[in-house]
Structure 1
Amino acid sequence: MEDKLTVPSNLAHQNKRLKALLKKYKHAHHLQNALILLSEQASTVAELTLLYPAIHDILQKYVPSKSFYVVLSNRHTNLLELSYFSDEKDGLAIALNQHNSFNEGATGYVFKQGKTTYFTKQQMQDAANNGLFKALGTPAEHWIGVPVFQEKSIIGVLAAQSYDTKQGYSPQQIQLLEVMSLYLATAIERVKKREQLEAEVKVRTQALTQSNAALNLEVEQRKRALQRQQILFKISELATQAKNIDDVYLQLHEIIKSITYADNLYIALYNKDSGWLSFPYYVDEFKKNPQSRRFSKGYSELVISTEETQLIHPDRAKALIQDGTVQRTSPVPEKQMATSWLGAPLKTSQGVIGLIVCQAYNNKHIFSQDDCELITFVSHQIATVLQTKLANIALKKSHQELEFRVDEKTKELRQANLHLQMQIDERKKIEQQLYHDAHHDSLTGLANRSLFLTQLEKTLQEYHRFVEQHFAVLFIDLDKFKSINDQLGHHAGDQFLISVSKLFSQCIREHDLLARLGGDEFVILLTHLTEPQQAEDVANRIINLMAEPFCFKGSSLQSGASIGITYSNQSYKNTDEIIRDADAAMYYAKNSGRNRYELFHPLLTQAIPEQQSPVLHYLEQLPMNFRSSEIITLDENCQSESLLEAFGEHPILGYTSFDILKKFACDKEQHLNVELQLLQQAYTQTSNANLNVGLLPCSSLLLAHPEFNLFTDALSQCENKTQLCLLFDEQEIRYASATQIENLKQLSLNGYSIGLNNFAKDKCELNLLSEIDFDYLLLSSTFSKRILQQASYDLQLQGVLAITKIKNTKVIAKGPAILNFRALLDKHGLGFFIGKQSALNSSLQPSISHSESLQR
């Protein structure tokens, strides 16, 4: 009976033992497989930026590590710097903002202890409360940090965390992390050495390329010498192989063609005794074979008299005519004037017997000094061959008559072919002219409505396929055009339209389209835009050019341009909607004072009751949170967040509903009332939100007397004077009165936070920075972008940073995609940014991909 009971007991013991061995072998297999994969990645990955994601992929197969990061110690600064980061909840922006604080957190604790540490959520909170380290980021349910060693020195920390209470880390998984960390330093060194090796290969490849270039130059020189030698052989063979003098001329022409441009070539012979110049060979696309003439003052005579090769371009031709060296017996049509002329003398032992000339029309070719050397080189040999052949002409007089007839027929056929080609070309020109006339304005030569709408339709369709290819339409109406017609006459009006079209053409790029719709209305299509500011820059250039008076026959009138701008939008389905919105913005610009531009806003097309002011009506229709959403708030870590979800673009970044409300104010008093109401609401919102600082755009009108008293009364409601930074536009402050400047300084002296917006939009004036103590300086998006493009702007930036450092002013770069250039701008000395999230942040944190932020 005891034996029967012992058997099952033994079997159960063996099963338990087998299961333990299986688990052990499985764990060993996981370790081995992970190390093999790590070794493969270290052997194949070319960059460190690719190694860390590969390690992360390996870990996720065996360890809960969706949230995983690696920090390494910087031996120069002794700070832990982030090398790789992936988290389920915290975005990369948070990690980058806190990279200087890793030494104070749990990661730094593991680095100092030098051993693996595992915390649950409660354990980490207890440790933080006990002062072992600071709690950073979103609390995790399970967190483990493993030190990374290189030989016996710790160089960094590998950390993984889980936000799932049921998903912790077993001893086997911890052991796997530890084993991976042991091999991580070796893998990093292998990849670094591979990167260094690739860099050395590139340097050696470049050196080899330079060596090959020098070798190619030597080969090219030898080829040129061989070519010259072959040309001499060909010319020498003409003396014995050519059947007649005409054959000599033709073959000489082919030889010259092989070394330079010679579509138009002639050979002239000079009889010194008779003083006549003849042209036995003449090929030209415009002129027939000229008749012999007496020696006079032409280009050919200049070559013969100087016995030197002459290279003549239009500038030298004018100079020769002006000083009398060259004289023309009859005017030459401009189309038939050579734009480049090259002639070399044919010199023999008896003197100059003629010359050989190559010429080009319509800038088809510009002869160079190399061409001069080549034609001079072959002209001596040509002269010898021609002299030999001409000596035999007297012996073959009968044959010459027959050859002359053949040559005449050949010339007639050539001329007939040339005439036929000219007729074909003329018909093509007529067809092109008909197409041009159908799609262009007859007065100004600009594109007409038909061509503009066709191009706009293509652009709209392209934009719907590729949303990153933004465009803008500018609708332009000339101010006081009727006055010009009435006072100076319609002829003056036509001349004014022609002059305006030329001015507008100077303000756009080659691929942009300028069209005249009719009368005094023009439209511009701007394509391949990266930001709306570019369209505004074009409008400003037009307005500045139109500020000049128009003068006609002693009379002068001042005009201007009212411009409406609409930017590309996915809501546009057809071109009529785009023209309609641009036209609406233009009419608002005209009604707002003319000679200005306005951006389209949906409010421009809303039906508003006549008895109610548009701005008051719009304020009543909007909820309270809309009017406060125009504020950017900054926390103590210099990170921005908005109080509420913004409506439209942010005022710091572009055209906004905040601006349109103030623009729709009927007069100055209403404008001030609206701005004071917005200011009071802003204080209320920031006070309730209990945030550190908010940036609020303000008008310089608030600084004028007596409005300044109303302004300071509104400011008195703020308990913390620095809770709101009052932003004033740099262009308004530049032209502010002395009273306004003194009131602005008084705000700073009274402890209020003030800032300067859109600094250096058109020019950089440092006297404002040195004269007034600003807390914040927001660079314009144009200046922020051009810092990376032109060295002169970087020099201006260094001057700005030098002054703001003394003044303790925070300098902020801004732009629609400024975060894409964050690292580059940081090298220029900029540490604060306002703009849209970068593409990397968007991929890691889709929920905030369209939010606006200030990053450091």
Structure 2
Amino acid sequence: MQHALIQLSEQASNVPELTLLYPAIHKILEAYLPSSNFYVVLENQLTHTLELTYFSDEKDDKSVPLAEEHHFNKGLTGYVFKTGKTQLFTQADILSGHKQDKFKVLGTVCEHWLGVPIFQDKEIMGVMVSQSYHANALFNQSHVELFEVISLYLSTAIERVKKRELLELEVKYRTYALTQSNQALQNEIGQRKQALDRLQILFKISRLATKTEHLSDFYQQIHHILQSITYAENIYICLYDKEAKQLSFPYAVDERISTYRTRPYQKGFTEYVITQRCAQLIDNKRAEELIAQGDIVRTENHSTNSSETSWIGAPLISEGNVIGVIACQSYDHKHTYNSDDVELINFVSQQIANVLQKHLANQALKQSHEKLEKRVKDKTKALQQSNLHLQLQIEERKKIEQQLYHDAHHDALTGLANRSLFLMQLDKQLQQYIRHPQHGFAVLFIDLDNFKAINDNLGHQAGDEFLVEVAQSFSYCIREHDLLARLAGDEFVILLNHLHHPQEAIDVANRIIEIMRVPFCRDGFCIESGASVGITHSHNNYQHTDEIIRDADTAMYQAKKNGRGQCEFFHPLLRQLDMNSGTITQINDTLQPQDLHFNGKAIIAIHNGETQACLVERFWLHPNLGKIQFSQIEKYLSDTQQLIECELNLLTSILTQNNTLQPILLNCNINMLNIGHFTALKRTLMAHLGSSVLCLLFNEEAISRADNQQIQHLNQLQEMGIQIGLNDFAKYRCDLNIVTRCQFDYIVLSPIFSQRLLQQTSHQLQLQGLLAITNSCNSQVIAKGPAILNYQVLLEKHGIALFSSQQDFSASLPDMSESTQIASIR
């Protein structure tokens, strides 16, 4: 059965269309069923009738079930469809049911008939049938189970193939549309290029008119240029003397007429151009029309052998007067001129007229030169505008392509990146991190609280407006190079790049949570929302993006279980969450005192490197997850009493194994100061303290929320000779009011504040305020960071005297030898 399902899944993934899916399923079933007769009937959603989709039978051909009197609704297939249950009939059962009018026998009666309904989302969509005409080919229970399982997955396979068909059709349509668009663009580019080439040639003519000094050279070069862009084998330039009524030909090249002599003004093509004062295009038909109208008169010595079949001419106009004509002609239909040629020769005629005017008088030359420059500028401007128009069209098509890409990778409602783009960028960031681990990153998985209440009470339109506002608010909480995306519904994700410390991700999460505390109001009705944020960091050695999303999602659900409106950093312990109870399995039961260990980190004086104290770190060696910081498992201990016992056992072990007079700084849970636990803490300290100098460190967050009773207990510990310290200070913000709540002996800065201290002036100013308070209270400030000499030197310049290095402090804890670097509670 598993093998058959695997084959079905492969076929659903590979076949290109539905018509090939059913034969593939038939081929799979032939290997497992006693009969090869198989057909599938599906309901038409429009007519609500059963229609044959696939049919293969050894007795009946396809025309039998398709006959009008053999409609499936009346037969065995319709009976299975109506009952929605699997039916296995023998021949006797079929005949009996026919007599009882349960159904009709359609086609050849078989020996055994098996029909299974096909469901989609609990709605029946069709029937899958196999039948046997041989008495010895029986269907047993395993055959029925296989047939039922195949039918369960058939609807899914059909939907997958349908979606693939639709996707392929859409791809073909988009490809065709893009091909047509590109073809049209290529054609337009070709036309623009052709126009550009012609304009460049005309520009050469304009420059030639201003540079040549001799008219003969000018005429000859004009001829060469015209030959490069149109048919100009036969050309002549005529000058008109209005007073003498004569036409002269200073330049002429013709394949049939050897010389052009000066002649009187008559009624030829040239004279017609002069009379009309505009360019003319004349072929045989128009010549006959002009002759019939009397505008053209052929001379007696005109030869029909020399008659031109296509002729164009343009007047040479100077200062409003026609001074000549330029004309081109072809014989024997070698070339037929068109309107473009008319426009071209008209432009050339203007250049010739300008040159002629230049040679008439110096003043006329100057005016002609100015006109020429103006025309050149106009043509250049027109060319530039044409180029600009073409460039705008190209850019517009690029914008369309970019818009299509944007729409495919962004959420239509919020405009944020969608799942596809986010996973693509996350994969790039992951591959970069694998190559360059120094560039850390983090993923924040955000789920909005009470979003359903907004939709239910204010409507879905208000819900959409809320999502848009949330998306805009979230964008204010991140940097420009970070990526904010909407996965689906009220789920958002953020990719934070170039992180130096995981605390930066927590800072972003806290800003988001703070923003979401503001109620969402519409039409006088307000609903308080919120955000639960799950965070995972690149330090977890990820290899695939789905692992990152999974862990961030897991951390987000833990944040919801912890009370919503907060963030949770992912830890491998969360993978052991019991989804029913919401607690960590095996911790309360398997956590034993002998599994809790500790080691020391040296606190040195930066100016000479001498050890001044020891910062003790506590951790649990988990049998599967390895080393886990004790602070990470405190919040998962459901039994507070067990937490207190662990704290006291660790404290006893540290004090009994210490033999140095230098201070030991040890983290302590704030719950130890509660009534009922504080007595046990004092008893333990009095019994094991001895000559040791002990400083109990409490987290900044715990001190900020401590009540008056807990503060009094802190003062009592100091009266007993126990030093008090503030740990992880300025993790979120540098609140100097916390420092003044108690007389602290040590203040340990958070690593992220120590790092930003060297980068940001605002943090340097905050440190100066802290040092002013600690100096007056005789408190010592300790910074954390990597054991780099330059790093420590920079801290010292800002007033930091003590530094917590990464080297184990084996001197004060002699049991931490090189072979045994941790001490455990026995």
TM-score (norm. length: structure 2): 0.48
Larger radius of gyration: 2
TM-score by length of 1: 0.47
